[in-house]
Amino acid sequence: MNLIVDCEIVYGSGSAAESVSFDLGDSKVLFGLVVGFGNGIFDEMRVTGRTREALFYFVRMTQAGGFTQGSTSLASGKRLYQDGDACFPAEQPFVFLAPTTTEGDEIDFHDLESEIQRRTADLEKEALVKKEPKQNMRPLFEVKEEEKPWWKFW
């Protein structure tokens, strides 16, 4: 699954924007992003998911950090904001999500929450299916009741 997001990041008010790609499937990268958000090292960030799944994972990460989607009117004056972007967090937006993936899929941010709930339910179902024991599988070793263990022969 492709969970790569391409980002433009501004680290300080006077610095230039840098282009960086993050693989959200890598736990070390994910940890670095969470720490970065927690320590406030990003002044602004514009995110474009390579796939819908990548953008979905990024949104879930921001929501897990307590960010909710906010109004675009608060994003005026920000360097990386572009028309159509979704803005996070609601109080003082600095993370902007592009409405189109690099694969060309359009993202409807007005219906983002219902899509996230649907995808989360799908992932939970998939996890439950994987946890079910497989039927018709024989154990590697069968122990017959009438056989004595080797230590009881002495």
CA atoms of 93 and 71, how far apart (whole Å): 8
pLDDT at res. 132:
53
Contact indicator for 54, 4 with CB cutoff of 8 Å: yes
pLDDT at res. 15:
85
> Mean pLDDT by 10-residue block, N- to C-terminus, for the chain (154 residues)?
90 87 91 86 92 86 83 85 86 87 83 73 69 51 54 49
pLDDT at res. 30:
87
CA atoms of 45 and 19, how far apart (whole Å): 10
pLDDT at res. 140:
47
Contact indicator for 44, 9 with CB cutoff of 8 Å: yes
Give the DSSP H/E element, type plus range, for residue 127: helix 112-131
pLDDT at res. 59:
86
DSSP 28: H
Beta bridge partner(s), residue 20: 7
